[in-house]
Structure 1
Amino acid sequence: MAQRDPVEARAQRSRDLYDIATWEPRSALDRFAVRLYRAVVATGKWVLVLLAVVFTLAIGAAGALTNEAVLGLTVLSAVPALALAAYVYRTDITSGEPLGLLAVTFVLAVIFASFAAVVNTVLGGVVGAVFGTAPTAGGTDTTVLSVLGTVLFFLLVVGPIEETVKMLAVRFYAYRSERFDAVVDGTVYGAVAGLGFAFVENAIYIQRSAGQSLALGAPEQALAEAGVTAAVRALAGPGHVVYSAFAGYYLGLAKFNRENAGPIVAKGILIAALIHALYNSLATVVLPVVTGAVPSIPPITVYFGFVVVFQGFFGYLLYRKIKTYSAAYRDVMSDAERADSIGVERTEFDG
């Protein structure tokens, strides 16, 4: 219940407390203030989108997505993540989500991903300076200090920043729609935001791998390198869908529990960020050790097994969460139908 001023709480209902303890737009100045506030909010939103587009151009994502070869490999690499997002969409037991809102969420996730790229780059340099090595070096330095810096980078920077950015893509537009009318809808929009983020991230990785070979004057090698990167990214992409689907569920829960919305959203992002950071840490720190210990097994095979186990486990937890909501939905709908049936029978009997 909203807190009330003591004057409003104790005054008679007939007493006019406008501009004393209550307020609504009455005068011309009031109405101008309302319009000014709405204009500032709308302008701020468009400035945020424009800034995201500028950052997207700056990090080269737009160039990657306009290159036919890179775009084609990116689309292929996104198929597993798309399939998982489609499955989450199909599990929504409530009214289906409109494709328009899903498309906008996807596009916003693509351009808002640039915020994460910029922040990760800046803070990655800071962490690298503090720990004497860049966490993004791909395991080239295996000292204890380097490993600690890498794990902290994933835990304190990459996980929280990327999951927050993906939730921003949902919160910015779809969250405000009347069609976002159930807690589980947050899971659907979160999954789509994860798909958009994975799509543009894959494009950047694929372009970079091809660009390094092209710089050496080896176009055939560039295509081969890009293909290998696309295959690896195809395995990593579904993870983004799983992480943000968890966070999206709690964003949906927050929408219908406004009094505790902040802590609920924080919980969702925390869960997603921890899973995300754990994946990155294991893939970057532990897997190289495993592949080095068993050289007879191809590294891609080890990585594939790890992805199946890790993402399968957390994907199952997500499945259980969605199914729990679905069971509760069926129960209350059945209760409502029984109540309606009893009401009809009583009405007919009374008549």
Structure 2
Amino acid sequence: MSVEQLVHAFPRPRRPPVDAGWVRAETDRVLADFLREQAERASDRCLPTLVAVITDFLDGGKRLRPIFCHWGWVAGGGAPGASAVLHAGAGLELFHTFALIHDDVMDCSALRRGKPTVHEVLATRFRDDTDAEAAHRFGMNAAILLGDLCLAWADDLLQSVAAERGRSPRVQPLLHEMRTEVMVGQYLDLGGEHTDSPLDRSWRAIGCKTAGYTVEKPLQLGAALAGADEDLLSWCSAYGRPLGEAFQLRDDLLGAFGDVAVTGKPALDDFRDGKQTVLMGLTWERATPRQREVIRRRHGDPHLDEEGADELRTVIRETGAEASVRRLINDRAAEASLLLARPDLPDAAAEALAGLVGQVTRRTR
């Protein structure tokens, strides 16, 4: 029997269809290989332990950024499931990990994805378990370094893929813009800039911190790596911005009304921190004097209990802010969905991106 006959008689198993689950699994595989390599070639014996902390923290993520990067790549004419875009997606996930680690430090959050945050984990490694304050300080400082390490490794992965594809001139400005926007958005989220109203500042923070690096930039990076022209990159922005805003608006609702058993984050964190979300900005603008007094008393109270949180939730509902945010989410989902009628968009990309609209706007965690 000839080689050709053997191939037809015993065909190679078909690769499973490329969908969000497949991209998520392959991203995890690339990340595991990359982190294992970093541990094996470590310059100091402390690094494998730190890699283990990062690996554990990565477990349970939604991998939305690698998924959007993948479908941006396909939209730009790239082959589904290609190694280059999977490595770029892994780089984006490490960038997201850096952002989350630092965000948890700045918010002093205790939980992420239902597990202790990185600074809490690292605090337990402090040499003196009798000095709680020093252990906490060590955990915070070490987490900042670990976040920086994830940022550096993210850059290594993304830059190397761009160089190998000969796309550095197209990719570099997108990476620069993404990094800068996240830093600016985090600054606004912390309460920087008091020249605008809290609501205006919240919208600006969403645009920089979340909308850009969750949907828009991953899409654009994938498309740019595949060789897309400026017209398609603009389309990625037009689709990605409203959907990224919807993602954050949904996050705001989950922060106020979500089930901690599902979200994996303490239900009262946003209220106790006095987080200036669009949801709370709308609530304040529409509140009566009596309702504003409740907000002043309860929003930002570090000792807030469930009874106090319920008072805030009642005000949010009574002002119509919750219903307005739900409408804003639906409007932005519709805006993104309409753009999927683009004639030259590959069917596989259009179908996947349509499904992602629902996943982003109806998520429970």
TM-score of the two chains, using structure 1 as the length reference? 0.29
- State which structure, 1 or 2, has the greater radius of gyration over its C-alpha atoms: 1
